[in-house]
Amino acid sequence: MKRKILVVNGPNLNLLGEREPEIYGAQTLSELNQWLSDSVNDAELTFFQSNHEGEIVDFLQEQRHNCDGLVINPGGLTHYSISLRDAIAGCQLTAVEVHISDIYSREAFRQVSLIKDVCIAQISGHGSAGYLEAIELLIRHLSKNSA
């Protein structure tokens, strides 16, 4: 059975490939999404990106009964969004938090995640490959817990 997984990207991730490529790499968000689609055969991926916290919360609420899990890169929302944290918890989404850069080797304010405690795992600093790792981890977790 193919799992339905949401892949959600927060503010400024639409600028991947342009914004600070020395930190986030040269791959665009569109290229990342295509690479994930091509690489993942045992899940149906639905991609969403927004620069607006409320739009992400609305999307998660709308999709909560249509998916098996969530891979989320909250971007800057990681560090302050109680609303996003509450949406993930309130929708009872099995989630993995992912960050392209290593948030723990960056500025002090970036080292705080309000999201990680409502996720089963956090992957940070593995570049674009972190998304694939997160999807694979999520699929394994869902398979193990449905057996």
51: domain CATH number is: 3.40.50.9100
| Selection from 101, 115, 104 nearest residue 56 by Cα | 115
Work out the pLDDT band at 124, boundaries 50, 70, 90: very high
Work out the pLDDT band at 147, boundaries 50, 70, 90: low
Q: In which domain, by residue range, is 97 found? A: 3-146
Domain count, the chain: 1
Which amino acids are annotated catalytic? 24, 99
**So what's the pLDDT on residue 22?**
85
Say how far apart CA 103 and CA 109 lie, in whole Å: 9
In the chain, which ranges are continuous DSSP H helix? 21-24, 29-39, 53-63, 82-90, 129-146
